[in-house]
Amino acid sequence: MTTWITICDTCKHNDWSDRGTDITDGQQLAELVEAAADGRNDVKTRRHSCLMGCTRACNITIQSTGKLSYTLGEFDPSQEAAEAIVEYAGLHAVSETGTVPYKQWPTAVKGHFVTRQPPLPKQE
pLDDT in the model for residue 49: 95
Strand order in the sheet with 43-48: 43-48, 3-8, 60-63, 69-72, 113-117
pLDDT in the model for residue 123: 78
Instruction: Parse the chain into domains and list their residue ranges.
Output: 3-117
pLDDT in the model for residue 122: 82
- Evaluate whether the domain defined by 3-117 bears CATH number 3.40.30.10: yes
Mean pLDDT by 10 residues, the chain (124 residues): 96 85 93 98 97 93 97 97 98 98 98 96 79
Distance between alpha carbon 94 and the CA centroid of its chain, in Å? 16
